[in-house]
Structure 1
Amino acid sequence: MHHVEIEDFYHHDFTTVSEWEVFIARIEELIHEWKLPHMKVTNSLKPGDFINCQWHETSEKLNFADVEFLLKHYKLEKESENEDAAKEENEEEWIQCQKDALDISNDFVKLNDNCMEIARYYGVREFLVLIPARKAILTDETRIKIVLSSLTIAANNANCYIPLLVQIQESWQKMYLGCCAGKGTCVNLDMVHLKKIPPHCRYLTGLLTLFKQKIGEGCGVKIDSVMVSARFSYLLKDWTNSTWTQEPPDFDFMQGETLGVAELGKLPFGATFDPVRELHLFVTWPQMSDNVVVDSEGYSDLEPQLAPEWSVQVKMVALPACLLGEYMSDFLHLCNNQKTMVELLGENASYIHDDEQMLSSAFSVLTESRIPTISAVVGRANTKKNKNIEGPISEEILLPILYFLFPDADENSKFPYNDIVPIVEDDQWKGVKTCTMDSLVWRLSVVAAHCTHNLGGATALAQLWHEFVQEIRFRWEKNVLIPG
C-alpha cells in the first residue's frame, strides 16, 4: 500500500481574533471604564425628575464592519438620598430597568433631544445607546441582529444590568431596539414605526388588544387585566382671528400733547406683542384598569372635561420685543457713542459760542496757583439768566422734567423727595450696586432712559444733561442745597 500525502490546500487559524470579537471586547472595556457593572437598585423616581435633574452623558467612538459608531452612556444624576434601611425581600431580585419601566411618575414627559426620547419611551433613568455616525444608517435586518447580539454578549460578559439599545432606520424616525438582561431575566425593548396608523389602533380598545396579543405570544400567558395611563394634548397657536398686539403704555408727557406727570418716575414694562407662542393643554388619566374604561370608534369614556389631571405648558417667543428691554438697550448703546456735546448740540449751546476763549481760560486755570471758581471756568454764574439751548425736547416737556428732578424749584410740586430711607433686607440686595430708590440719581436715570428712547436719542439726552449740569452748577455757586 502506498502512502498518499494529502496537501493542506486551505487552513483557517481559529485562534485569530475576528473583527466581531474585537468589537465586543471594546464594548466590554468601555463598560468597565465607565464603572457600569453591578449597578445597585436605587430609590424610586419622583415626578419631574427626568426634566428637573441633570443628565450625565459620556460617549466613545467604535468601528465595526467599516461602519463608525458612537456608544453613548446616559445617566440621570439625582441628589443623594438616604435609602431606607428596611428593604423588601424580593428587591434584590429586581434590576433597575424593570423597576423604572413600571414607574409611572415620569410618564408623558417632553424629552426629544439628543437620544433623550429613549427615557421617554421606556421610562429608564440610565441606558447605553449605539448610534451609527457620519449619517450612516442600519436598515438591514441581519446587521441589526448582529449588532444587538454584540451588545447583549458584551453586557452579559461584563455583568451589566442597564439597558443597551441601538438606533436603526433613518435618524428622523427616532427608532431604538435593545434589551436588558440580568439576574435570570431579560427585558426586550422593541418598538414599531408605521407610516400610517391602522384604524383599529386609533383607539384604546384596539391598542389593548394588540398589546395583550403581543405579550401573550411572547410569554405564553393570557393577560386578563392591565393598567392603562392615557393623555390627550391640545395645541393652541392662534389666540384670535386677527393678530393680537399689546399697545405700549401711553406716555403723554413724551408726546408733547398733555403732560402725564404721574408716569414721570416709571419705566415701561411689558411686551409690544404677545410673547406667548404656543399653549399646550394636557388632560391625563393615570393608572386605570382597562375593565373600567371604554374607548372605541363608537363610544369613549375618555371625556377631557372629566379627566382627573389637567396641566398646561406655555411656549414663549424666542426674542420678544419688550419695552423695558428696548429702553435699557438704547440707553446702554450710548456707552459706545463717541460724539461730543459740541457734535450733538452744535452751536446752539450757550457755552459753545466763545469756545476759543473758554478753552484758553480753562488751560490758564490749570496753571494758576489760586483756586478758581467754577463760574470763571464755565463763563456764566446763573443758568436762569441765559437762554436754554435748542434741542429735540421742547420747553413744555423739558420744564416738567427739570421740576421732577428738582422739585424744590416748584412751589406746587407733586414729587417731593422722601427723606425716609426705606428698610430693605440686606440679603435681598446683597451684591447689587445701585443708588437709593427715588433719589436724584435714580430719577435722572429714569428720565434719561425716556429721553433716549422717545425724545430724540443721544441728542435729547445731551440736551437734558446740559440743563441738568447747568442747574447743578448754579446751585453749587449760589450755595443752594441739591435735593435728593
Structure 2
Amino acid sequence: MLSTENDFPLSATLHPLARWFGLADFVVMTSSPFNKIDYKVSEDRLKILHSSIVMAVSNTKCPIPMFLQFDEPLRQMFVGVSEVSGFRTLYEIIDLQKIPERLQTLSGLLEIFKGKIGVEDSTQLIKASIQFTIDLLPDTIEFEDTPEENEDSSLTLKLGSIPFGPEEFNSFVIHLFTSWPNANADAIEDTLLHSDLEPLQAPKWAAQLVFEENATYKIAETIKTFAKQTHRRESIHSFLEYLEKEQLRKEEKEQAAEVLERLTAASPRDHLRSRLSKAIYSRLPKYHLPVPIDAENLNDILAYIFPDSDLAKEMGKSYLTFTEPPDNIFKGAKAAPCDSLAFRLALAVFFVYERFGGVLAVAYLWQEVILELRYRWENGLLIAGVDGDMPNHGTCLLHQKLQMLKCCIIKRQAGSGSTGEASPQGMQSSSSMYMDTQSDVMTDDEDEFFDCETDDEDKPRNSTHIAVLKPEGRKEAHPTLRLLHNPEVSIFIPVTQEPAPMTEDVAREHLEKLVATEEEAEGKANRIRLQSVALVSDMSAFKAANPGCVFEDFVRWHSPRDWEEESGTSRLSERMSQAGTAWKDAWEAAEGKSVRRQKRLFDERVEAENVLSFMDMLIGEVFRHTLPMLMKAGLIRLFEEMDSLEVTVQHDKRTLAKMLSRLFSEQLFSWTDFENFITSLRSNEQALCAYKSMRRLSAKSAALPEHQTFTNFLRQLVEDRQLRAVPGGARSPLGQHIAVCFDQGNQSRGGSSSGNVSLRAQPPKRRLPSPAVRQFILRTVAPRPYLFSRPSIHRMFASLSERDIRIAGAFSEDLLYG
C-alpha cells in the first residue's frame, strides 16, 4: 500500500478494488445473481457476515485480502479484512451523493485521515498523491465537416453524397491528467479560500483520448439504417394506394369553398409527373397523390439519375460524383461502377429516404424511375450509365437487369433501324455490332414460322431432294472444308444467332433446371432441350446454308476436335458416334431454316418486360438491391478521408474492400458479416472524426513553436488510444500547446466542484477548466490503535466528482500490542 506504482491506474478492465487500494491479489465474495429471493447482502446482515470473514481470516492466517460485496451491485460497496505478520487491515468504503463542505478540499480529507488513525501530532509525515482530470468535450470544438445542413441549403450540394462525421457532439472526450505524485500533504494548502493545486503548476501531465461507446457516426449509421429497411415486405403500389386514400380522406374534410377554388383553379390533385416520363402517363394507372416530393426537387433528382435527358440538359446543374479508386480495389465487389445508373439510383434512393419522408418517398421515386425506363424502352432510347453489351455477372443484379434492358433497346433499334435522338455517345457502335450478326433474324413485323407444303412429309429426306433447295443465310465460304457427299462444293459458314444474354438469376435458374432431375427420363429430355436450343438454331442455319450436308459436315465445322483423321481415314469421335446422343437428336430435329426464318433465341420484347416486372418489386427489395452501391459509396467517402488525413486507422482499404466483396459474393446475405463490416467501418470513421476535430483544435496554438510536435502528439493519441505522458508538464513546449487548447476561454465546464471559486486567489492569465474528477491518495506509517503499538501502514483513497464522493480507506492495527 506504500508503493506509488499503482496510483491512479487507467485500465478500464481493472477491478475497482485494485484501483482504490492498490492491491494486486484479493478475493471477493458476493451473493449469486441467480438467487432471485435475496440476491444482495443487506446492511443488517453485513456485520454478521463481516465478523465471520474476520474470524475465518484470523484462524487461517490468510495473507490475501478478503472482501464482501453488499448493497446494490452497481454501487460497488465492499468491506474487507486481511492479516499479515500480526497486523490486521480493515478495508472500508463510503459513497456520498451529497459532498460535505469539509470533504471538498485536501485539508478536510487530511483531517479525516488523521482522525481515523488517531494521530494529532502535526509532525507525522503523510504523503499525498494527487491527480486532477480535466475534460475537453468535442462540443467545444468546431468540427470540420461538409457545409452545414439546414432546410435552406441547396439540394445539389447534398444529392449524390454520403455524410461523414459524428451524429452527436459527445462522440469522444480528451482527458488531461495533471498529477502531484508522492508530495508532502502538510506542505500543500488546499482550502476553500486558497489552493496550491493549480493544474498549470503540476509537475506531471498526461493525456488520453476516450471514445464514447454508444456514439454513432454518419457513414456507418447511414448504411445500417438503410439495411434495416430490406426486411420490409410491402409493395410499391401499396404505398401509392395508401397515399391515394389519404388524399381522398383529406378531400372529404375540406370545406365547400376550397372545393370550389380547386374547380376554378389549376387542380392540385393532378399526379406530379416528371417531365421525363409525362408522355407515357396516359397509358398507365393514375394515382392522385399528396406527393411526398415537390416538383422542383423531383425534377432535380430525376435529372441527377438520368443526366442524358432533355430535362437535365435544360437545367444544366452539376451534381456531386464519386470516382473509382485508382488501384481497382473494388474489383471483386458485386456492386456497380460509380458512373452507372444503378449507382446514381442508390444514392438518390438514400437521399429521398433521408430527406423526404422515408419509404413513402422511396416508393414514389421508384415508380417514377420505372415509368422513365419503360418510356425509354418503348421509344428505343438508350440509358446513360449502363456499360457493356451483355450483363456482367461480376456486378450486382440491379446493374445486370439494366444492362439487359440496354441489350433489348439496342436490339429494338437494330430491328427498327433507329438510333434514337436521346441515345448517349457510343450507341452507334453498339447498334452496328448487333446489326452485323442479327440482320437476318426475324424482325417484330415478320412471322416466326412459315407454312410448309402439304407433300413435304411424303418426300424422302435424302441428298437428292435437298440438293435442289436454294441455299440461304450464307455468310462466307469456308477456306478448306468441303461437303463429304459433294466434294466439289465448299462448306459455307452460315449466319447464326448470337447467344441470348442472361442475368445471373436467370443463369442460376437455368443451371438448376439442368441438374434438377438428372435420373428421370423427363428431366433428361428437358435438360437436352435446354442445352440444345442454341445448337439446333446453328444446325438449322447450317442446313439452310449448305443443302445436301450431313451430320458429319456440321461436326467438322462446329466441333473440329470431334472429327478424327488417321491414316487417310476420317470418322466421328467416340462420343459423337454413339447412337442417341444429344447432338444427333438435335440434328434430326433441326430443319433447314436460315436465321431469318427461325424463332429468335433472344426476344427483346419478352426480356424487356421481364426487366420492368423485376423493377416493380417490394419496397424492401428496393433497399436490398441498392444496398451494395450505397456501401461502396460509403467506403469511397471513407477512403477519401483516409487519404486526406495522415493518421493510421485500424483497418486498411483492402481489408474493408474484401469484407464488402465477401458480403455479396454468396447468394445468401450474412448479417453477421454485415455487423462485422459496420463495426470495422465505424472504428475507422471514429478515428478519422476524432483526428479531424483535434487537428482543428490544434490550430488554436499554431503560433507557438514546435507546432508539428503537438500535431504528432494528437495523432498518436488517436492511433494508440493509450495514456501518453507530456514530458516536462505545463512548462514544456508541448504543455504550452495543450494549455492553449484547454484554456478556460475556449471551454466552459460550468460550476466548480471544489467550493466557492470566487473566493480563491486570482487566477493566472491562462487558466484550465475546472477538473471533472479530483483524486487523492493519502498514506502514512503510524502506530495504531495505541501509541505503544508497532507502526503499521494506513492508506486512504478519495475521488471527488461533480455528482458524488467516494472514500476507500485501508487502516491497519497491531494485534500483538493492541
Relative to the length of structure 1, the TM-score reads 0.51
Q: Please name the residue that 1:131 is paired with.
A: 30
Match of 1:263 in 2: 158
Kindly report which structure 2 residues correspond to 1:160-239, keeping only aligned pairs within 5 A, or say none: 162-167=64-69, 172=75, 174-179=77-82, 181=84, 188-191=89-92, 193=94, 202-205=104-107, 207-208=109-110, 211=113, 225-232=125-132
Could you give the per-residue CA deviations for residues 46-95 of structure 1, whole angstroms, max 9, x where no partner exists? xxxxxxxxxxxxxxxxxxxxxxxxxxxxxxxxxxxxxxxxxxxxxxxxxx
In 1, Cα distance between equivalents of 2:243 and 2:125:
91
Which one-letter code corresponds to 1:175 in the other structure?
A: F
Provide the C-alpha distance between the structure 2 equivalents of 1:270 and 1:189, rounded to a whole number of angstroms. 50
- How far off is 1:102 after superposition? 2.1
Match of 1:451 in 2: 352
State whether residues 212 and 223 of structure 1, in contact with CA within 8 Å, keep that contact through their aligned partners in structure 2.
no
Of 364, 385, 401, the residue aligned with 1:463 is 364
Q: Is 1:400–2:300 an aligned residue pair?
A: yes
Structure 1: 5+ residue runs without aligned partners? 1-97, 241-246, 254-258, 349-381
What is aligned with 1:61?
none
The aligned residue for residue 385 of structure 2 is 483
Give the drift of 1:165: 1.8
- Cα RMSD, aligned residues only: 5.2
Q: Identify if the C-alpha distance between structure 1 residues 467 and 291 changes in structure 2 by more than 3 Å, giving closer, same or farther.
A: closer
Aligned positions of 1:28-427 closer than 5 A: 102-105=3-6, 107=8, 109=10, 116-132=15-31, 134=38, 135-137=40-42, 139=44, 141=47, 144-154=50-60, 156=62, 162-167=64-69, 172=75, 174-179=77-82, 181=84, 188-191=89-92, 193=94, 202-205=104-107, 207-208=109-110, 211=113, 225-232=125-132, 249-250=149-150, 260-268=155-163, 275-276=169-170, 283-290=177-184, 293-297=187-191, 299-307=194-202, 308-309=204-205, 325=221, 329=225, 332-333=228-229, 335-341=231-237, 344=240, 383=277, 385-387=279-281, 391=289, 392=291, 393-409=293-309, 410-411=312-313, 412=316, 414-415=318-319, 421-423=324-326, 426=329
Deviates more, 1:222-231 or 1:298-307: 222-231
SS in 2 for 1:399: helix
Q: Which stretch shows the higher mean deviation, 436-445 or 221-230? A: 221-230
Deviation at 1:319, TM superposition (A): 7.9
Counterpart-to-counterpart distance in 2, 1:186 and 1:435: 75
Answer yes or no: is the 8 Å Cα contact 1:179–1:187 preserved in 2: yes
Q: Does the CA contact (< 8 Å) of 1:249 and 1:268 recur in 2? A: no
| Aligned-partner residue type, residue 339 of structure 1 | S
Deviations 1:372-422 (A, max 9, x none): xxxxxxxxxx9563238665133322222122112122444524977x632
1:205 positional shift? 4.2
Shift of the 173–464 alpha-carbon distance from structure 1 to 2, 3 Å rule, reads: closer
Shift of 1:287: 1.0
Using the size of structure 2 for normalisation, the TM-score is 0.32
Equivalent pair of 1:345/1:459 in contact (CA under 8 Å): no
Which amino acid letter does the alignment assign opposite residue 123 of structure 1?
G
Q: Retained in 2: the 8 A contact 1:106–1:123?
A: yes
Equivalent residues of 2:178, 2:206 under 8 A apart: yes
Q: SS at the partner of 2:92?
A: coil
Q: Could you tell me how far apart the structure 2 residues matched to 1:186 and 1:235 are?
A: 41
Decide whether aligned partners of structure 1 residues 145 and 283 sit closer, same or farther in structure 2, where only a CA change above 3 A counts.
same
SS at match of 2:30: strand
What is the rounded CA distance, in whole Å, between the counterparts of 1:251 and 1:169 in structure 2? Answer: 52
SS at 1:400's partner residue?
helix
Note the C-alpha offset of 1:443. Answer: 1.9
The size of the alignment, in residue pairs, is 325
Query: 5+ unaligned residues in a row in structure 2: which ranges?
Result: 33-37, 141-146, 245-275, 387-818
| Secondary structure of 2:308 counterpart | helix
State the distance in 1 between where 2:239 and 2:93 align.
71
User: How many Å separate the matches in 2 of 1:165 and 1:294?
Assistant: 33
Aligned partners of 1:301 and 1:121: how far apart in 2? 24
How has the CA–CA distance of structure 1 residues 189 and 432 changed in structure 2, closer, same or farther, with 3 Å as cutoff? farther
Return the offset for 1:150: 0.9
Q: Which residue of 2 aligns with 1:354?
A: none
1:270-291 Cα offsets, whole Å, 9 max, x none, are 677x543997966532414207
Partner letter of residue 387 of structure 1? Y
1: CA distance, partners of 2:227 / 2:178: 48
Kindly tell me: are residues 466 and 146 of structure 1, through their superposed partners in 2, closer, same or farther at Cα, counting changes over 3 Å? closer
| 1:483 to partner: Cα distance | 1.2
* Conserved? CA contact 1:281–1:312, under 8 Å: yes
Alpha-carbon separation, structure 2, partners of 1:445 and 1:422: 19
Corresponding letter in the other structure for 2:362: L
Report the counterpart of residue 680 of structure 2 in structure 1: none
Q: Distance in 2 between matches of 1:467 and 1:346?
A: 17
Task: Give percent identity, aligned residues only.
Answer: 22
| SS state at 1:276 partner | coil
Residues 144, 168 of structure 1: 8 Å contact kept: no
Report whether the alignment pairs 1:442 with 2:343.
yes
- Separation of aligned partners in 1, 2:131 and 2:183: 15
8 Å CA contact 1:180, 1:188 repeated in 2 = yes
CA distance in 2, matches of 1:126, 1:432: 52
Partners of 2:30 and 2:69 within 8 A in 1: yes
Find the structure with the greater CA-based Rg.
2
State the 1:107 CA deviation: 1.0
Match of 1:369 in 2: none
Distance 1:347 1:107 in 2: 62
Q: 2:373 is paired with a residue of what secondary structure?
A: helix
- Alignment partner of 2:26: what SS? strand
CA distance in 2 between partners of 1:132 and 1:211 (Å): 31
CA distance in 2, matches of 1:347, 1:216: 80
CA distance in 1, matches of 2:341, 2:60: 73
Rate the CA distance shift 1:130–1:153 in 2: closer, same or farther, 3 A. Answer: farther
Q: For 1:191 and 1:340, how far apart are their aligned partners in 2?
A: 66
Which structure dedicates a bigger proportion of its chain to helix? 2
Is the 2:161–2:321 contact (alpha carbons within 8 Å) kept by the matching residues of 1?
Answer: no
After superposition, the Cα gap between the structure-2 partners of 1:155 and 1:439, relative to the gap in structure 1 and judged at 3 Å, is: farther
Encode CA deviations 1:79-126: one digit per residue, 9 max, x unaligned.
xxxxxxxxxxxxxxxxxxx6xx72445516587x9x943222112344
Go from structure 1 to structure 2 and tell me whether the alpha carbon gap of 1:185 and 1:249 turns closer, same or farther (over 3 Å shift): farther
What is the Cα deviation at residue 302 of structure 1? Answer: 0.7
Residue 82 of structure 1: aligned partner: none
Q: Distance in 2 between matches of 1:416 and 1:163?
A: 65
- 8 Å CA contact 1:284–1:309 kept in 2: the answer is yes
Higher relative contact order (CA 8 A, sep 6+): 2
Are the counterparts in 2 of residues 328 and 449 from structure 1 also a CA contact under 8 Å?
no
Distance (Å, rounded) in 2 between the aligned partners of 1:469 and 1:328:
26
Where 2:342 maps in the other structure, the secondary structure is helix
Partners of 1:126 and 1:162 within 8 A in 2: yes
